[in-house]
Amino acid sequence: MSKRNSNNPSDIRCPGVYPMGSTTVFAFDTAGYKQVSFVVADALTHEVQQTFSLTSDPCLGSLGTITIETAMLKGMGYYYLCDGEKTWDPYAACVKDELCFLMPRGKTVTPLGRVPEDIPDMLIYKLHVRGFTKNARMKADLQGTFKGLEKRLDYLVSLGINTVEMMPVYTFDPTLIDPKTGQVRYGIKNYWGYSAKNAFLSPNCRYCASSDPVSEFKHLVKAMHDRNLACYLEFFLPYGTDPTLVRTVLHHWRIYYGVDGFRVFGGGEQAYLLLQDPLLKNVHLIFEGLDEGCLKLAEQRLMPVSVEDRAFTYVMRETLKGDEDKIGVFTYRMLRSGRICRPVNTVASTNGFTLYDLVSYNNKHNEANMEYNRDGDGYNASWNCGEEGTTKGRKIRLLRMKQMKNALAYLFLSQGIPMLNQGDERLNTQQGNNNAYASDNDLGWIDWSENRYTREMTNFAKGMIALRQHFPMLHQIEPLREVDYMAYGTPDVSFHERKAWYHTFSRQSHAIGMLYNLRFAGDKGYLYLAVNNGQACSLALPELKDASEWSLLMCTAHPGRSVYLEDPRPLGPIACYEAPERSVSVLMSDSLPVNTIKKSEMRDTVDE
């Protein structure tokens, strides 16, 4: 083994790994450590071959460097020894069995060349690679792996999904530390991957069916692109993460793997950094939140940015269980959109109840996490429909099915970007655990067994996605204005209750009719969304030509098949729609309205 100390490499400005001809320069931030060494170990036996001290130069601040003959690293791995503690290289391209490795040269570093697209109707499916595939019907050596996920891509395509968002796929430390004692929590591991110790550039070997995580993940991305699926990755970048590392991480996955977009958790300063990055200007970024300064930066990008709308989640849940004074804020959240910043909407997410548990539990049940049920969100805005947990009661089971359909209807009929959590379309349950971060077991894995209920819910999800995609009016990028700014005779969207063209938005109101004029999206006709979160009631329909002919496209109150997009159910010449108890319905009419009203009159009516 040979090495060359580099006192002041002219091309080194920040930590990282720098190939330079026949050598490789390793740069590491030594701040906070008394002694940092570079250790070379055999890739198979892990026996230490050489140990070198990093060279520091006053001109480089706390940056320590070392130059190694690249050929001498063949068959070898490395790590840093920081004050006696074994530490991963944050810039390592691959980490296997606690050893770091260089990015293989040649075939594995060729960019895929795909340009990220601005998908007008993005439909996100969020999943955990291991949890999504561990119980899937496939060879045991493929379960829980990137190759296993590749086998399941056709299923996602069949749902109508066009974007897959994966929870951390990079190498992370599964060890959990008790925040109170600082001790390792034995018997429980970090399953999700949101960790303080990470090798962000390295695909996780625990998710590999082969011995080559780099090639395996790259093949997965290509398989997604072959099916017109966009690949999005989540990154948990803790507050204080080196800005150079933040940029390097996203650059790496974009350039070497062709990833289309990123969901970034972390400090607000990271958003400023990434929004100004020229390489990421045409990459879709999703953040926890953005201030006004970030929104101004977003205007200069080639691709919109997004924020996950947590308010949408809780408003939809509260509306679903029938809370008072929710119709107004429900309507507002349903119609939110934006060209610069698009909201990402969810009704159930990883850090909370699954969709099935949302209608089956009033309280969290996190005892399996070994934290005495003190972890997880204490407010879930859930309703168990009459009995906590599993039930044999037929009425309760039917009500739960209807409530889950209502929730998915809210999600896919909202103007923002819908994000479906893994398994929610298959009645996935975590038995009331709303924080399954350590459940690398049946509790945290998707159950792929089937029965008539799972088939019914999966078919409903497919139907709702198809309905949404069929009508561009349901996924407009520009916010709807609630006025007839094109002089089409009616506003782009209007609100109705017991009287047409009028809604009180009172505290006691649990129902609303929303009329969409499809001409504003280049189509013909009208859609009428009838939402009722209380007892059965009548919702007025606007007076139309030809005896007010309407057809039913969907009704969640119908057990079994609930979406009739291909064969709408005729309703005839009706002046009002009898909205069933706790239901969502979609009606369609191709007729033109007779009673047109002035824009000023409509504006006043809507604002009342």
Cβ neighbours of residue 45 under 8 Å, at least 6 residues apart? none
Could you tell me which of 416, 494, 438, 8 has the C-alpha nearest to residue 189?
A: 438
pLDDT of residue 165 exceeding 50: yes
CB-CB neighbours of 438 under 10 Å: 24
Could you tell me which of 28, 24, 16 has the C-alpha nearest to residue 55?
A: 28
Instruction: Please give the C-alpha separations between residue 183 and each of 173, 176, 186, 190, 438, in angstroms, as whole numbers.
Output: 15, 9, 9, 14, 16
Q: How far apart are CA 94 and CA 44, in angstroms?
A: 15
pLDDT value for 110: 52
CB-side exposure of 507: number of CA atoms within 13 Å? 0
Paired with 563 in beta bridges are 554
- The pLDDT-based confidence of 591 (bands split at 50, 70, 90) is low
Could you tell me which of 133, 160, 106, 102 has the C-alpha nearest to residue 220?
A: 133
Six-digit token string for 363: 């309280």
Average pLDDT over residues 269-286: 93
CATH number of 124-474: 3.20.20.80
pLDDT digit string, tens, across residues 120-130: 899 999 999 99
Asked whether 406 and 320 are in contact (CB, 8 A), the reply is yes
pLDDT value for 462: 98
Cβ neighbours of residue 174 under 8 Å, at least 6 residues apart? 189, 190, 191, 195
Mean pLDDT of the chain: 91
Instruction: Quickly list H helices, 191-259.
Output: 213-226, 243-257
CB-CB neighbours of 356 under 10 Å: 22
CB-side exposure of 210: number of CA atoms within 13 Å? 12
Q: Do domains 124-474 and 480-607 have the same CATH topology?
A: no
Asked whether 464 and 408 are in contact (CB, 8 A), the reply is yes
Average pLDDT over residues 195-214: 93
Across 268-332, the runs of DSSP E, i.e. the strands, are 284-287, 305-308
Average pLDDT over residues 531-535: 97
Q: Which of 71-75, 128-132, 135-139 has the lowest mean pLDDT?
A: 71-75
In terms of pLDDT, which residue wins out, 401 or 185?
401
- The pLDDT-based confidence of 536 (bands split at 50, 70, 90) is very high
Asked whether 540 and 586 are in contact (CB, 8 A), the reply is no
Average pLDDT over residues 186-198: 91
**By three-state DSSP, how is residue 514 classified?**
strand
Q: Which of 51-55, 179-183, 468-472 has the lowest mean pLDDT?
A: 179-183
Asked whether 30 and 242 are in contact (CB, 8 A), the reply is no
Q: How far apart are CA 229 and CA 163, in angstroms?
A: 5
Q: Which of 9-23, 271-285, 290-304, 498-512 has the lowest mean pLDDT?
A: 9-23
Instruction: Quickly list H helices, 166-212.
Output: none
Average pLDDT over residues 504-513: 95
CATH number among 3.40.50.1970, 3.90.1300.10, 2.60.40.10, 2.40.37.10, domain 3-87: 2.60.40.10
As a whole number of Å, the CA-based R_g of the chain is 27
- The pLDDT-based confidence of 558 (bands split at 50, 70, 90) is very high
Degrees, nearest 5: CA angle 560-565-571: 85
Instruction: Please give the C-alpha separations between residue 221 and each of 139, 176, 216, in angstroms, as whole numbers.
Output: 21, 30, 9
Q: How far apart are CA 431 and CA 364, in angstroms?
A: 9
Could you tell me which of 519, 529, 535, 427 has the C-alpha nearest to residue 473?
A: 519
Asked whether 127 and 164 are in contact (CB, 8 A), the reply is yes
pLDDT value for 113: 61
pLDDT of residue 603 exceeding 50: no
Whats the size of the chain, residue-wise? 608
pLDDT value for 108: 47
pLDDT digit string, tens, across residues 458-507: 999 999 999 999 999 999 999 999 999 999 989 999 999 999 999 999 99
Q: Give the percent of the chain with pLDDT over 90.
A: 79
CATH number of 480-607: 2.60.40.1180
In terms of pLDDT, which residue wins out, 601 or 380?
380
Instruction: Please give the C-alpha separations between residue 326 and each of 104, 349, 481, 509, in angstroms, as whole numbers.
Output: 56, 21, 21, 8
Q: How far apart are CA 297 and CA 276, in angstroms?
A: 7
Domain boundary assignment for the chain: 3-87, 124-474, 480-607
pLDDT value for 549: 87
pLDDT value for 183: 84
Could you tell me which of 388, 374, 494 has the C-alpha nearest to residue 434?
A: 374
Match 């991957």 to its residue by tokens. 193
Could you tell me which of 232, 281, 227 has the C-alpha nearest to residue 258?
A: 232
Q: How far apart are CA 412 and CA 419, in angstroms?
A: 9
Q: Would the pTM of this model clear 0.85, i.e. be above it?
A: yes
Phi, psi (degrees; rounded to nearest 5) at 237? -110, 95
pLDDT value for 12: 80
pLDDT of residue 191 exceeding 50: yes
